[in-house]
A and B are shown apart, each in its own frame.
Chain A
């Protein structure tokens, strides 16, 4: 092994996997050491009122960890979704935790006390057992991100392995800056749902490599739909989050670049859709660095 390879290998062994961390560890790994303070933690016991009615055990934090703390000394808020509980799905309580925290951050920003909001997105979307209340909460999350984004960048991270789907994929698209790893997947409709709705000829959900070529973190980054592509390394992700805030808000948020979106769609022929790699070349021109 030459020197570079050995150094890379040692770095690989030394890194802490972010993907393998639970939501609480992830929030701690992002915030400055010693600054973590959880809000509405498990001991507050605010659980889903709807799951026990369906014979499902409700977890005491409803699968969302909220923490205040600092990033390089600046006040920050991290909302981390726990994919190990109900697939990271958004129910009434977990959704209200995210929306409510962003609304309070907005109040603080308006009073001249800016707080840096970070969303650690790992979710299949709406929790179908709470259907309409999950969807309503996601609309409120969208509203809060859009309002807050005018005052402070909102930074999203999709690390994997679940990825970010459904209405929450729109939340990811609304973020001022989106950080992904190669293990991330980002899509409106999960492959299983597309296969069920449109048939296996439309999408083969069991073709793992094919799915990643379509909606994986590397592809999304290369096509300009995510801003930073990182290795699965907690320290590197924490650095990238800080860098995103240091950079500030983009001149025009991605979801407000309507002219660019219209141009890109107009140039796509649904009868002869571009291959994933040619989309990278075509869409990455002029993408924000």
Chain B
């Protein structure tokens, strides 16, 4: 099995920075680092104070010892998606009779796991279970915030983050959102990576960079001027403040995803999404 040369440590870095847990780089000692008994070591969960709030932080991180070979690089595989569903559902159950904790999904996921074992065992259902859990938390009144610190790709993002009330992202070149990785998208659309780059500059939804994504109106905030790879105390404090702002905004707003269509950016680049809904409502009940 080849070692992934470009494993991203952003997810773990920000998880540890925001929760005060630590494991040290490459540590296989899982004590006290947010790994739950009986769930995948690649999913980290911890509760930590956030201002006056208590929040549950969840991250998917690379695990070179993952029992599924296609999920060793931080991908959302079968075990990861299942663990996400379990820990989010635990949060809902734990708060059933009390204040709804905020849930913060720290997103640095290069893709869902591609493999035949994954298909056989129904990775589509596992990812759906994760998305279902996050959406159910949102509907139950938990402010669900996605914090993009690295890649937010495709089915992995759908399973981990895309059901959030509010999406935040660090303004960094390594923070990306897309439906498919660059190389694969180039092969599938029979274009070169360079051609895709040029198209992305012209056509915002095809771009990979987070600034283009922000133009689509899907982000609550793009957090600028933060050192994403080596955050200092000031950087961490800024991100905490942004998380608190997003949580307050989510608590004050609806539990659906309608906020994604209301920003000035969305009114420009998602004009068709808005127009479809407007015309559909007109025709809904007939003449």
A residues with a Cβ closer than 8 A to B are 37, 39-40, 44, 46, 48-50, 53-54, 66, 68, 92-93, 95-97, 100-101, 103-104, 125-126, 128-140, 142-143, 146-147, 150, 166-167, 169-174, 186-189, 192-194, 196-198, 202-203, 214-215, 223, 225, 253-258, 261-262, 264-265, 268, 270-271, 273-274, 276, 279
Query: Chain A residues near B123 (CB, 8 Å)?
Result: 188-189
Residue in A closest to B217 when the chains form the complex, CB atoms: A136
B158-A139 in contact (CB<8A):
yes
B119-A193 in contact (CB<8A):
no
- Complex CA gap A162/B202 in Å reads 31
A258-B86 in contact (CB<8A):
yes
Residue in A closest to B81 when the chains form the complex, CB atoms: A261
A135-B154 in contact (CB<8A):
yes
Query: Chain A residues near B120 (CB, 8 Å)?
Result: 214-215, 273-274, 276, 279
Chain A interface mostly? helix
Asked if B237 is at the interface of the complex by the 8 Å CB criterion, the answer is no
Asked if B277 is at the interface of the complex by the 8 Å CB criterion, the answer is yes
B188-A214 in contact (CB<8A):
no
B116-A130 in contact (CB<8A):
no
- Complex CA gap A53/B269 in Å reads 14
A132-B179 in contact (CB<8A):
yes
| Shortest distance from the beta carbon of A190 to any chain B beta carbon, whole Å | 9
A142-B126 in contact (CB<8A):
no
Residue in B closest to A257 when the chains form the complex, CB atoms: B129
| Shortest distance from the beta carbon of A141 to any chain B beta carbon, whole Å | 10
Q: Which residue among A128, A186, A188, A271 has the maximum number of chain B CB atoms within 10 Å of its CB? A: A188
| Shortest distance from the beta carbon of A174 to any chain B beta carbon, whole Å | 5
Question: Which residues of B147-174 have CB atoms within 8 Å of chain A's CB atoms?
Answer: 154-155, 157-159, 162-163
A100-B154 in contact (CB<8A):
no
A167-B154 in contact (CB<8A):
yes
B205-A92 in contact (CB<8A):
yes
Q: A39-B284, A256-B132 are in contact. List 20 more A-B contacts (CB 8 A).
A: A40-B280, A48-B272, A50-B203, A50-B205, A92-B205, A93-B276, A132-B178, A142-B162, A174-B131, A188-B118, A188-B155, A189-B123, A193-B184, A202-B116, A203-B116, A203-B119, A215-B120, A254-B125, A258-B129, A268-B78
Knowing A104-B281, A131-B179, say if A170 contacts B67 (CB, 8 Å): no
Asked if B128 is at the interface of the complex by the 8 Å CB criterion, the answer is yes
- Complex CA gap A96/B131 in Å reads 19
| Per-residue interface assignment for chain B, residues 106 to 119, with 1 indicating a CB less than 8 Å from any chain A CB and 0 otherwise | 00000010111111
| 8 Å CB contact of A136 from B218, B280, B281 | B218
Query: Chain A residues near B155 (CB, 8 Å)?
Result: 166-167, 170, 188-189
Asked if B89 is at the interface of the complex by the 8 Å CB criterion, the answer is yes
Knowing A39-B283, A137-B273, A214-B120, say if A255 contacts B132 (CB, 8 Å): yes
Knowing A103-B277, A136-B216, A170-B155, say if A147 contacts B135 (CB, 8 Å): yes
Asked if B7 is at the interface of the complex by the 8 Å CB criterion, the answer is no
Query: Chain A residues near B277 (CB, 8 Å)?
Result: 96, 100, 103
| Shortest distance from the beta carbon of A80 to any chain B beta carbon, whole Å | 15
A96-B163 in contact (CB<8A):
no
| Shortest distance from the beta carbon of B266 to any chain A beta carbon, whole Å | 10
Query: Chain A residues near B136 (CB, 8 Å)?
Result: 146, 256
- Complex CA gap A49/B159 in Å reads 28
Query: Chain B residues near A54 (CB, 8 Å)?
Result: 199, 203
| 8 Å CB contact of A262 from B69, B86, B185 | B86
| Per-residue interface assignment for chain B, residues 246 to 280, with 1 indicating a CB less than 8 Å from any chain A CB and 0 otherwise | 00000000001100100000000111110111011
Residue in A closest to B133 when the chains form the complex, CB atoms: A258
| 8 Å CB contact of A92 from B117, B131, B273 | B273
- Complex CA gap A193/B277 in Å reads 32
Query: Chain A residues near B228 (CB, 8 Å)?
Result: none
Query: Chain A residues near B78 (CB, 8 Å)?
Result: 265, 268
Query: Chain B residues near A134 (CB, 8 Å)?
Result: 179, 205
Query: Chain A residues near B59 (CB, 8 Å)?
Result: none
- Complex CA gap A68/B188 in Å reads 35
- Complex CA gap A254/B157 in Å reads 21
| Shortest distance from the beta carbon of B282 to any chain A beta carbon, whole Å | 9
| Shortest distance from the beta carbon of B10 to any chain A beta carbon, whole Å | 20
Residue in B closest to A126 when the chains form the complex, CB atoms: B179
Question: Which residues of B209-226 have CB atoms within 8 Å of chain A's CB atoms?
Answer: 213, 216, 218
A146-B132 in contact (CB<8A):
yes
- Complex CA gap A131/B205 in Å reads 6
Query: Chain B residues near A223 (CB, 8 Å)?
Result: 122
Residue in A closest to B154 when the chains form the complex, CB atoms: A135
Query: Chain A residues near B63 (CB, 8 Å)?
Result: none
Query: Chain B residues near A264 (CB, 8 Å)?
Result: 121
| Shortest distance from the beta carbon of B181 to any chain A beta carbon, whole Å | 8
- Complex CA gap A169/B136 in Å reads 19
Query: Chain A residues near B127 (CB, 8 Å)?
Result: 170, 173, 188
| 8 Å CB contact of A193 from B124, B188, B275 | B188
Residue in A closest to B215 when the chains form the complex, CB atoms: A132
B67-A270 in contact (CB<8A):
yes
